Amino acid sequence: MNFAPKMEIEPPVKSGSQRRIQVVDIVKDFHTDSGTHRVLNGVSFEVGMGERIAILGANGAGKSTLIRIIAGLLKPTGGRIVKDLNMSWPLALGGGFEGALTGYDNIRFIARMYNVPYKETCEYVEDFTELGSHLRELVRFYSSGMRMRLAFALTMAINFECFLIDEVILVGDRRFQEKCHREIFERRGHCAMIMAIHGTDVVKQYCNLALVLKNGQGKVFKDIDLACNIYVTL
């Protein structure tokens, strides 16, 4: 889990009357010793409440880079992000916690940062994570699965309108995975979601849009089966 810095957000460009997240002509260059490498080249899409878009592409196609740009953690070389929904930090495996703090201290920090009641937030995280006394331990000693449980629960504890999901959304045994599915896909079905993900089963079951990235460019599909078929051949 990573926390986006405060940033100036452009006034939204309305699509009808619905508030949306709009990604407009995003370009991202990385400068290396061998020259400039363009990872994203004019990528655009938009997503509104209740819509779920999957970002598909081979390794190195720019999925995580795009997620970080949308979150405000990485500055694009060109283009703009129009944010008209309250957006989460990127939900990914293990990132973003202060390892020198306990699980409870991290909960307290997030509650203060997002101005939500600590007691209710803590009770939710305790119940959802099932980490018990481990919440009193320093996060640096957590396993990757424990960190992900904490990250997932804290993300769900905040009333976000749009969720950013980077690759990993399910951890633990089958029972806990089903618990995660219910929490994000059923109880928050009214929210927008942007998911960079490998598993086509999840995409086919839960997404109504797909962005396929290849050679820096992106194409949006409403036909999810077609998008997944193209993705598996990349």
Q: Which amino acid is at 80?
A: R
Structure confidence at residue 175 (pLDDT)? 84
Report the topology of domain 20-86+162-167+192-234: Rossmann fold (3.40.50)
Burial degree of 32 (CB within 10 A; 0-12, 13-18, 19+): exposed
Residues in CB range of 144: below 8 A, 6 or more apart? 93, 94, 171
Question: Which stretches of the chain score pLDDT less than 50?
Answer: 1-16
Tell me the pTM: 0.84
Whole-number Å distance between alpha carbons of 137 and 101: 8
Structure confidence at residue 95 (pLDDT)? 56
Q: What is the dihedral of CA 212, 217, 220, 221, to 10 degrees?
A: -50
SS3 for 165-232 is: EECCCCCCCHHHHHHHHHHHHHCCCCCEEEEECCCHHHHHHHCCEEEEEECCEEEEECCHHHHHHHHH
Q: Are 43 and 25 in contact (CB under 8 A)?
A: yes
What DSSP character marks residue 74?
Answer: S
CB atoms near residue 94 (< 10 Å): 18
Token pair listed for 92 = 């990914």
Token pair listed for 145 = 């699965």
Whole-number Å distance between alpha carbons of 108 and 116: 10
Structure confidence at residue 116 (pLDDT)? 94
| Residue-wise DSSP of 122-172 | HHHHHHHH--GGGGGSBGGG--HHHHHHHHHHHHHHS--SEEEEES----S
The H or E element spanning position 54 is: strand 52-56
- Structural domain spans, the chain: 20-86+162-167+192-234
Strand-strand pairing, 78-83 and 209-214 = unpaired
Pick from 97, 161, 85: nearest CA to 129: 97
